[in-house]
Amino acid sequence: TRVLSFGELDDRANRVAAALEQRGVRLGERVAAYLTNRLEFIDLFLATTRLGAILVPINVLYREREIAHIVADAEPLAVVTTRDAMSLLPAGTVAWDVEELTRIASEGAVERIRRPMDGDAPAALVYTSGTTGRSKGAVLTHNNFLANGANLLACWRIVPEDRYLAALPLFHVHGLGNGVVSWLMSGCRMRLVERFDASRIAAVFHAFHPTLFFGVPTMYVRLLDVPVEDAKAIGAHMRLFVCGSAPLPAAVFETFHERFGHVILERYGMSETLMNLGNPYAGERRPGSVGFPLPGVSVRIVDPAGHAVDDGEIGQLLVRGPNVCAGYWRRPDADADAFVDGWFRTGDLAERSVDGYYTLRGRMSDLIISGGFNIYPREIEELLMEFPGVREAAVVGLPDAARGEVPVAFLVTDTNASFDPAALEAACRSQLASFKVPRGFVQVDALPRTALGKVQKRALLGEWTSRLVD
């Protein structure tokens, strides 16, 4: 385990920034990172932000098909990755070996990099898919990260004495925009692990004695497998467990409280907005609720006509504030759909209780959230329909105790076409991230549709359930 001071981290960032500048990175230039959790990811984030360049994090579970779109859209000067991972990049992609870049940077002189820039300048370009399946890059500014970090430090009382265990992937805004930025702004101690390994996580907790942990529901489900005595020992050192990225089952919420002695703080954010709402640090953390708007964040719940609904009624959640992204990268059409009179349409349905707690009630789109990762069915459906013999495809989210939801595919095939689920799965695994691969492939005679031709995906869930019963 390497231990670095903030001064040493600052020196590394300056050296990497100088090395990037020598390679042509300038103000506004994009640099992509296709890396697992490692020190060099943080070096790159700090280096690009001080140069005024834009970091483009890429999910390490993505494969060539997904990476190709991001590279074509963001047009980064290069993708920084490991030598082993270069083979996964699309042909023609400019790739920089992270080890070589770090070595060259370490040989340079330390010179503090100071580049004047506006707080509204982009700092990161985070890709998140829309219901059409076409990825869009959310433009997150320096001020977005700053406002979000200041809110979390104030609301969750993060101080230099805290010890933050970072197990979330840094390519996601949960790990980067919440975790890393809160650590940097507070000056607390951080332990970075490459990934959340359920078989080893208890030992990591015991060795580091963290006080602060951010996770997704799947992580908390896995933590319930920790022996009771270990859970008590972990809880004795902890100050705050935070959960987000997907709804936390009430049963997990209650069982975790019993075993670890802590009430998980649930909150709600998005790639495009960072954090919007959260349960109170001091006060009732209500199961199933995402609490109240964070300071400076305004929230509305509206009906389809855009009129505010009464407490207890469900409508679409709109937000605005210094946390909301500057828009989508080179997508004025997407901006026009997402923003209305300065408000950002989240696409989530919610209701507010009479005492002000907000609760999410589903999504307006068909988005599937599995283990904290977003899965957009259209992307998988389009791939499946490229398979010989497949005429129609519909992917739905099936409830899953561990991951929240998992995708299942329903397919209409040509009469004379053979149906081979193993081949379909292999095709998906070769071109999609593992979490997007359907957990089941079901052949149906026809997809249920409304009178207007819209596929009724709830009916497909019923079809799956009936087959399990049979």
- pLDDT tens, 281-292? 999 999 989 999
Per-position b or e across 16-49, b if 16+ CB within 10 A of its CB:
bbbbbbeeebeeebbbbbbbebeebbbbbbbbbb
Q: Which residue has the tokens 């095709």?
A: 427
Query: Residue 469: which pLDDT band, with cuts at 50, 70 and 90?
Result: very low
Do the bridges between strand 343-352 and strand 315-320 make them parallel or antiparallel, or are there none, so unpaired?
antiparallel
Answer whether residue 132 shows pLDDT above 80: no
Cα 145 to the center of its chain, rounded Å: 15
Distance CA 53, CA 225 (A): 43
Average pLDDT, the chain: 92
Q: Are 281 and 264 in contact (CB under 8 A)?
A: no
So what's the pLDDT on residue 453? 53
Mean pLDDT of 126-133: 63
**Model pTM score:** 0.85
Q: Name the residue with higher pLDDT: 123 or 394.
A: 123
Answer whether residue 463 shows pLDDT above 70: no
So what's the pLDDT on residue 257? 98
So what's the pLDDT on residue 138? 97
So what's the pLDDT on residue 451? 44
Query: Residue 89: which pLDDT band, with cuts at 50, 70 and 90?
Result: very high
Mean pLDDT of 270-276: 96
CA dihedral sign, ordered 351, 135, 244, 222:
positive
Q: Which residue has the tokens 């329909």?
A: 385
Distance CA 351, CA 248 (A): 17
Distance CA 213, CA 243 (A): 9
Radius of gyration for the chain, computed over Cα atoms and rounded to the nearest angstrom: 23
Question: What does the angle CA 328 – CA 155 – CA 197 come to, to the nearest 5 degrees?
Answer: 70
Distance CA 54, CA 300 (A): 31
Q: Name the residue with higher pLDDT: 369 or 268.
A: 268
Q: What is the DSSP string of 115-148?
A: ----TTSEEEEEEEE-TTS-EEEEEEEHHHHHHH
